[in-house]
Structure 1
Amino acid sequence: MIAVFYLRTPADVTLFWPASGIGFAATVRYGLRYVLIVPIATLLLHLAVVPVPAAFLPYSIGSNTIATLVAAWYVRRRAGGRIHLRTSDGLLLLRGGILLSIVSSSIGTIGMLQSGMAPAGDAPRIALQWAFGDLLGVTCMGPLLLYLFFADQASRRLQRVAVSRLEMALWAVSVVFTLAVVYMIGKLGSQYPLALASLPLALLLWSAVRYPPLVTLLSTALVIVCVSLITGLGMGGFDRPQTLHDSMLMMVMLVVYSVTPVLLLASRQEHAHATAALHQRATRDTLTGLLNRDAFEEQARALIAGNKDTLTLLYADLDHFKLVNDSASHVAGDEMIRGVAGLVRDVFGEDALIARTGGDEFAVLAEMDERTASARARRLLDNIERLRVAWQGQNLGTTASIGLATSQAPHPAFDEMLSQTDAACFAAKELGGNRSFAAASNPDEIRQRTRAMHSAIAAREALDQRRFALWCQPIVDLRNPGPPQSHFEVLTRWLDNEGKLRPPAELVAAAERYRLGPRLDRYVLDATLTWLEQHPEAAAQVEQCSINIGGTTLVDEDFGDYFAARLRRGPLRPEQLCLEITETSVVRDMTRARRFIGRMRDLGCRFALDDFGTGFCSFGYLRDLDVDYLKIDGSFVRDLDDSRDNGGGLSEAVVRSITEIAHVLGKRAVAEQAETELQLQHLRDLGVDYAQGYVFQRPKPIDEFFAGATA
């Protein structure tokens, strides 16, 4: 109906055709078949409101329909079916609007000339006015309707701006007031009323920079309608355009008014999307969409610092997840991770902080007590156990271990809570996995695990700073003793941050637990051979040097290559080295242990089975285990001094059995931790071949150990 106001005679062409923007937007959004609304609406308009000659009716319907179809097809093909509030799509819509106006005006002008509605000399005026009327309709109505059609809830949440209602109300009043001023100044007879029409544009630009998109798009459409009516109809002191030149200047001004705020708004939204994408990348895990570790820690610290309620921190680690990646592929592993992430969200909901903190590790911080958290942890474990990922004919599954720590206000520091949950998770994993472990319910266990983790950190620091010292203790032949320096075991001591010498037991255990064993063993081997290289007179006395090898080193495929390469440039022959491995580490992975032993024996090295007698089924696998020595655990040796009633009889029987089995299999028995002459006599009587302990010599630094022999 707005367009009708511009028509004075049947030969007039409306200066503003909003219907072109409405039909264009609907067809772009919903598909080309929706172009059918254009001929129906045009026919109803001519029948009910704007009658036209029958000869012109097909041209009028065809011009609007064909132009809308062509322009919508062009935009949909270039945009891929979806329009976003960005500069490139805004310019694409402008090109579509120009195409629509050219096609529509061409057909419409021909129709008006053919039907006799206008003389041939008016063709340029009709074509230009028709084209700019359609273009203004597209630029005014198209962006608003497409935004309403296309914008989803996620986009609208992103585009929300923190602006007070009072500010927006004052801005709206300013727009109305400015339009009223434009009208009133014109009524007063000013010679330059058109200059005041720029005032609404300034407010629209302010809106594009400051307010949500819908406010800018809606206000732009309303302002264009008002200004077009005032200027186009000669209201408020404006002269109605009388010439083609005047009409074109006015139309160009209105098109610029409608396009400029929209392009500025699109540019601002592009910047907002880019900022949001960078924020997403900085705070979210790309695979699961959960918080990443840094963002989780930052938000968790803030929540803990200001919270008065009970909080529980959970730490979940998938069990044996490496098997999924190794047996299937990392793509299958990623699919499993996404599935587990979805289960964590389902169990703990949107109110909890949830993060993927590592490859197969998740963390949750929620306001709940230990009982509730434990129940949800159990439900999560059950859901993970039931989860199956179909991959190339396989149904992949996994389980998880969960540690949790609950605190009351005032809460401890986040790092302390995380340390507790990490230790609790490790405890759950060592207990077999597929279970949860609460730190508060098992404080002694958690303290032990925490000490182990601190020891692992200390081990890594000591390795980085080479704060380990080599000590030696002789292994003596009970039948034919030789010099202490000829047959000995290399022991390890370490220096703490204060430079104090510390025993290695807890440190070595932690290193094994946290996969630092191979690195520690490489260091000891290299340091021993390097020292002997620097002291050739000491190396010349060595008949056999024993070095301990941890359980994780046995399954490290790279250690064998390193060992062989280091031996080739070392001062000792392979047969002068004896590698001591524990019984428990061999039992843990018998296949790899045999392969490692076989490879090292091919080089010429010897092997000793350390702490023998403390494991299970010790004798069952000895036939197939190619070692040279069985080192009897010191707990049996120490008890040899006791009477038969106090355990001495059992220890004597164990030592005798191990010694006899060793001799039957062609191996030699070594007694550890021999401390008294009475124990030595018992060992000789039982046929033990070698002994090691304080009765001969306490461990000494390697320099001191060889000092007496080389002095």
Structure 2
Amino acid sequence: MTINPVDNLVDYQEIEQIINRFHTLSTKDEMQKITNELYHYFKKKMHSNRGLNEAISKAFRLMMIDHAGYIIYIDEQFCKQLGYMKEELLFHHYRTLHAGVHDGQFYEDMWSTVQKGNIWEGDICTETKMNAIIWYRTKLIPIVDVEDRIVAFAAFRTDINDVKDEDTQLVEALNDDYRKVFQQLMNLIFRVRKNKETGEYRFSLIEGKLTKKLDIHTENTYDQPLDIVFKNTDNLHVIEKFDRVFAGEEKETTFKHQHGSFFLYSLLTPIMENDEVIEVVGSSIDITSLENAEKRIRYLAFHDQLTDLPNRSKLRDDMKELVDQADQFSSFAVLYCDIDRLKHINDTLGDFLGDQVIQMIAKRLNNAIKDNGSLYRFGGDEFVAIIEGTKEEIDRLSEKMLCEIKQPISLQGHEFFVTSSIGISLFGVDSFNAEALMNHASIAVHYCKVNGRNSRLFYTPKMNKMYNDILLMEGEIRKALYHNDFELYYQPQINVHTGEVIGLEALIRWYHKEKGYIPPSEFIPLAEECGLITQIGEWVIRKACNQHVIWIEKGFKPIRIAVNVSAIELQRFDFANKVAVIMEETNMDPAYLELEITENSVMRNTEDCIKTMNALRDMGVSLSIDDFGTGYSSFGYLRKFPINFLKIDQSFVKNVLAESSNAEIIKAMIQLAHTFGLKVVAEGVEEQEVLDLLQKQQCDYYQGYFFSKPIPPDKLEQLLFGSQPVI
């Protein structure tokens, strides 16, 4: 074995010369002389070598290990410092001295270096026999023989425990300064390290004023697991967050979690060294008040503040969920409860007492329902209950609800009684649809109120036509038809470019002798619902045709008259025949009659509507799509409709100056109509600027208050032949 500094202690050439002299010796005295020389030479050299070893022992702790890592030499001072006898270490593996501070990779790198013939230098932590820790600055040097083969390794170690202690004290001082700073922060600050062998995450620091609120004792947090901070939280969710940050997949990540009764919002940020995440720094803030506020907002969004009952929004969601989860065997009902004449209590005693009555009724209804279902405040004096059970059980429970409500009420010296009307619809009997169930229950409760109140009724299909307002208005409409109380007003349609009146729209008007003017928006829907719309429609067509003939007889120039047709009329199989009869009876030229049809009406039973429209066109009648843009007709069907005109709904026209999008929509509608060879009429024109825009977009005709409001026939005659428009 060769260690260069030691080799220089022995002069091999001098030894060889002395030995060669043995071959020339002839006497015993000469041989003894040479032997003495060799003895003194080696004694002198060994003394020098012992001095070198003592010097090395004072300067270093020397240990030699073989290829397998077993100790083949160790000096006395090294053994003494480690607390071992020489025999306890010689021919034992060097891992006996491992302190568990360095990981496997550390030793693999060290061995890889020296086995390549290179010197390895570094700091190694060694454990004594008494489990104390000593740090050595170490040089591990390969030892080679005369043929330069590595035969062993010499480890020269220098004790640097005092340096490490100073470093530790410095780090601790710095950490102490950081802690003092972090302790003043409102948030929670922490550092987390990952054990490379076990993969566990451990805290190395937790500070901040928030620790006191969370009852975290910072003096005991070092090397503690994550659940110190992340209590009451999905552990896998938290570990996944740390995994992603330590793996370098995210520069930082945030998440919400719970710690006891507190809600925290945490941020994790990686600390990098040599392109490796060695630590994660985190901070947490207390968002408990915000979370509670959000919960309160969510609660208020679905609960009535006066009664604390679930509200209409919650009812809608619960109904949808209940219906979605129900099957053909499910049995439940919707009970629509309307408090009778609560408005009189508010008017008499004030809204404050009225609110108290509502609260009291809510408690009574809840008491009646108990565990059989859920109660909601639908709004005002209306409650809705969803009850599970058979029809017989629901019948008994609804009777109990009525009885609870009509018990005497005593408030501030006043005693009074209230009653209620309850409409009931059954799932699977009346409908399988949530909206339909609510609608049917509402119809039942209205019919219940019409028929005396303070009762309950199960929905039947017959109730659809039995609302009080429908029943009353039906009689009035019949009287108006019989006495010819309706009349027609006319609104001119004007050529956008020439200003010429090219047509009229006939509009029904009703002046009731007792109720005064009743707008079409009130009686037309009712007439449709009660089946009188066909008679009204027939009356309007006949009246318009007669008026046209009268004007011709007066010598006026023929003009086209447009009449609105309801969806119900258009759906009738004999509608075209009735129109033909009217024109024949009135002697009306079909070329001057235009029928206006809403786009939604033609989308019901479309193919039959197209047949009817073709029959009308064959007679010479013009057709137009009214209120275009408000329905859902497809362009495919629009090509099939045998129409002449397309009327843009006034909702687009009136706001065209204020909303640029409306201008673009109108432009597109005009282009579309012209593509299909149709003329375009814009409704609701009231300003010159709107008319200018329509002219620019090549619209054909318009009608609206800018030229004239709808007026009766006599005033229209003055307008058509006079110089001043009627305003």
User: Fold conserved (TM > 0.5)?
Assistant: no
Normalized per residue, the structure richer in strand is 2
- TM-score, normalising length from structure 1? 0.39
- TM-score, normalising length from structure 2? 0.38
Q: Which has the higher contact order (CA 8 A, sep 6+)?
A: 1
Normalized per residue, the structure richer in helix is 1
Structure whose alpha-carbon radius of gyration is higher:
2
